[in-house]
Amino acid sequence: MSTHSFTRFVKTMEGQYQVLLGHALAKESFEDNVSRMLPVKDPVIILNKEKVGDYNPNIENKTLSLICNYVQCPSTASNCTTTVRPFGHCCDVCAGLLTFASESLTVSKIFGLISKLVKEIHLDGLVLPSVERINGEDDNDLIPRFQVAVFQQQTYDDTISRIFIKQLHNKLMNFQTQNGLEYFNYEYDWSLLDHSYAPASKIAGLVTFCIVILIAAALFWRNADERERFRAFVSSNTSSSFRVVWHPGKEDDDVVQLVNSSEDLISEEEDPLPTSFSNMNHEPVLLQSGAITTGSPIAEELTAMEMKMIE
């Protein structure tokens, strides 16, 4: 490694991890009159070579806290309202978690069960599950504990996480026998979305409603006839101004007519019907030019135009 390549490596994130974390986790060693810093533990430690899972020393609180100091967590406010933090993660994320203890289950069995479940509920390409053993190196638990985390490859949907976690929980419940050590001490949780309307949507809905009301009011007031009818309807009493008039007809052909009493009264005042006739016997009357005087009864019943025509 040259000076140039070493300098370039140190500037990378991996180089910063090795230089800074190595110094923080190192101890001073003095051998053969030489003082130097050595790591506390080997770089790679593989313990518990069993099917229940290998122990990762990076999950220890001291090591994990140092690693998380160099991690900048992104904001999840736009993706979900409640978050979870899976085991071994530095940041809160939008996901679903299922934590449990099992005496007989292994990581491979859990992965096989998850693969079948994903195909059964048609979530291929939508979810990305992971299985971790969460027992610490110094834990006194004889029974391994596991955590299943389900992430989503697209926009987060809490319905998918809820269905996956619930279905997986039901399948693991079938492994229980009389002793109950196959699946116990379980707890699950998933991130939730805010299904209420956003403030911007509420404001937009209110503005739209006001615009619709204004348009309806403008159309209503433009129609003068409808406005007058509405006023008459509101100001009028419960009684109607119309009346029913019956006219006798020939034989059974009687006529029933609905008329406006106010209009009918006006027409009666303007054109009153005669109630009596002077010539009830229909006797012929001879009219001669100059024979009718202005003071006679016949002249009183004739109009000026008729008198002029007779003359």
Q: Is the pLDDT of residue 288 over 60?
A: no
pLDDT in tens, 230-250: 666 656 555 555 566 666 666
135: domain CATH number is 3.30.70.260
Same domain, 115 and 177: yes
Q: What is the mean pLDDT of residues 254-272?
A: 54
Q: Is the pLDDT of residue 189 over 90?
A: yes
pLDDT in tens, 90-105: 999 999 999 999 988 8
Same domain, 93 and 142: yes
Domain that holds residue 79: 57-190
Q: Look at residues 86, 68, 172 and name the one whose alpha carbon lies nearest to residue 130.
A: 86
Same domain, 89 and 152: yes
Domain count for the chain: 2
Q: Where are the alpha helices (DSSP H) in the chain?
A: 3-11, 13-16, 22-24, 61-68, 107-120, 158-173, 199-222, 224-235, 261-270, 297-301, 304-310
d(CA 61, CA 69) in angstroms, rounded, equals 12
Same domain, 65 and 34: no
Task: DSSP for 151-207, please give it.
Answer: EESSS--HHHHHHHHHHHHHHHHTT--SS--SSEEEEEEE-----SPPHHHHHHHHH
Predicted pLDDT at 92: 92
Predicted pLDDT at 54: 66
d(CA 90, CA 85) in angstroms, rounded, equals 8
Predicted pLDDT at 253: 61
Same domain, 90 and 120: yes
% the chain with pLDDT above 70: 56
Residue 158 in any domain: the answer is yes
Residue 148 in any domain: the answer is yes
pLDDT in tens, 51-92: 666 667 778 888 888 889 888 888 877 788 899 999 889 999
Residue at a domain's end among 155, 190, 225: 190
Q: Is the pLDDT of residue 151 over 90?
A: yes
Same domain, 67 and 99: yes
d(CA 147, CA 188) in angstroms, rounded, equals 9
d(CA 127, CA 163) in angstroms, rounded, equals 11
Q: Is the pLDDT of residue 43 over 60?
A: no
Residue 103 in any domain: the answer is yes
Residue at a domain's end among 152, 171, 190: 190
Same domain, 92 and 154: yes
Residue at a domain's end among 128, 163, 190: 190
Same domain, 137 and 33: no
Residue 285 in any domain: the answer is no
Residue 112 in any domain: the answer is yes
